[in-house]
Amino acid sequence: MAASAVNTISMLDSNMEVDKLTNEIFSILEKKFLFGYENQNNSLTGKDNNLSAPLAGKNVGAGKVRILSIDAGGSTDGVLAAKSLAHLESTLRQNTGKPDARIADFFDVVAGSGAGGVLAGLLFTRGNDGVPMYTAEEALNFVVNNDRKIRRSFKNGIFRRVFRPAKVFKKVFGELTLKDTTKGVLIPCYDLKSGAQFVFSRADAWEMEGCDFTIADVCGATMADQAVDLKSIDGNRKITAVGGGIAMANPTAVAITHVLNNKQEFPFANGVEDLLVVSLGNGDSDSGTGTGNVMSSPAAFVKIAGDGTADMVDQAVSMAFGQTRNNNYVRIQGNGIVGKKYQSIKDENMNKNERMKKMVEIAEEMLGQKNVECVLFQGKKLVENSNLDKLKMVANELIKEQERRKNSILPPVVLKHASPSPRTSSATTLSSASSC
């Protein structure tokens, strides 16, 4: 018994010595490889282990991964989100002194559903000059000018078995694919073949050939209110899609999950404290108008479900961020005060210019409203700051992060990029560090 106790104590002492030695070794390694030494030839047992100054003033923290999430279309079919982005981009340009700055310059990941997916495509797809195809103001004009064309593209037939992408998307994006996006892109739909949500992903497109689709098809799928067939670039994957608003009206949660579980591209994102999330709603709910006509339209039930799901995601995400919510998570959403006004823009006989003007006015009014915060099991509450105030705060945080990365030695994002020669498998994918 005594011998056993002695052996146990001896083992504990031995383990403590090993732990102590291990800690010392890793402490030295950490200092050596993260901070540098004056004499790079020092050994672990050397006595001259002083910290050198080559990296003095450098920030060794990886910083925050910046996520933009855009809801599926609400009563104004994406105009509120587009107007929010136009205002944000204008503020970023003004505060940085860079008149050509784009939304994509300040975010690492974008997730968009429905009309939000279209905005993601417009703002994060690379044009011939290597920069995003659309500015935020141009994207706003696109959404407003093509509202009816986009909605009418999917009105012919109940379940079309052959997918013909909306001409307006094909005209804009041509044959560009998910691989032609500038940052991480996530756009959902619902696949009737598998009976599950399907998320079009830039990361998956680079990793697996069967996951690359044209942007025109992706936008058509996430906007579709009826079944459409589409296939991947290599023809190996086929899905029958209906819109992202049905599958995932608020894609914020999937964007956060993607970042925290994708260690290849986001190696230092371990929790919500390592994220900066901007979530954009798309206007007041159609079901909040008090017209009593909800029961007459099955589509209205789908919108109610989508609105409810979006709010639940907002509440859950807000709760997950906890005390860091004010600095790490911002939600922009109409608060219902102007909900009835959207009815005036649904008149199909309304003059196009008049309708466009009305849509923008409603979006501007929503931006001037007090911001809404969702509290789990307690519903929504108004805060003192307006949506515009929140966007200004977001712009400041995005600029801070941009500046911080200039002095960081660790890249927070390592996006997959094309290899010089044609790829035969995902194993040949090259990666490059991105610090902006």
In a domain, 56, yes or no: no
In a domain, 233, yes or no: yes
Residue type, 416: K
Supply the residues annotated as catalytic. 113
Judge whether 140 and 82 are in contact, CB under 8 Å: yes
In a domain, 43, yes or no: no
Residue that has been written with the tokens 């998320």 in this structure: 199
Distance CA 165, CA 38 (A): 61
Distances (CA, A) of 383 to 312, 322, 331, 369, 373: 19, 17, 12, 10, 7
Listed in sequence order, the residues at least 6 apart from 356 whose beta carbon sits closer than 8 Å to its beta carbon are: 144, 145, 147
In a domain, 436, yes or no: no
Distance CA 409, CA 204 (A): 27
In a domain, 427, yes or no: no
Residue that has been written with the tokens 């997950």 in this structure: 320
What DSSP letter does each residue of 220-241 carry, written as one string? Answer: HHHH-SSBEEEE-TTS--EEEE
Predicted local distance difference test score (pLDDT) of residue 344: 56
In a domain, 282, yes or no: yes
Q: Which residues form the domain of 82? A: 65-288+295-407
Instruction: Please tell me the pTM assigned to this model.
Output: 0.77
If one counts the domains in the chain, the total is 1
| DSSP secondary structure code for residue 161 in this structure | S
In a domain, 28, yes or no: no
What DSSP letter does each residue of 305-366 carry, written as one string? Answer: HHHHHHHHHHHHHHHHHGGGHHHHEEEE---STTGGGGGGG--TTS-HHHHHHHHHHHHHHH
Q: The domain that contains 177 carries what CATH number?
A: 3.40.1090.10
Q: pLDDT truncated to tens, each residue of the chain (436 aa)?
A: 445 544 444 444 544 554 554 555 445 444 444 444 344 344 333 444 443 344 444 445 678 999 999 998 754 568 889 999 999 999 999 999 999 999 999 999 999 999 999 999 999 999 988 899 999 999 999 988 887 666 654 444 433 434 445 688 999 999 999 999 999 999 999 999 999 999 999 999 999 889 999 999 999 999 888 888 999 999 999 999 988 887 788 999 999 999 999 999 999 999 999 999 999 987 655 444 444 454 555 555 566 666 667 778 888 888 888 777 777 999 988 766 555 555 555 555 667 677 777 878 888 888 888 887 776 666 677 778 889 999 999 999 999 999 999 888 888 888 877 543 333 333 323 333 444 4
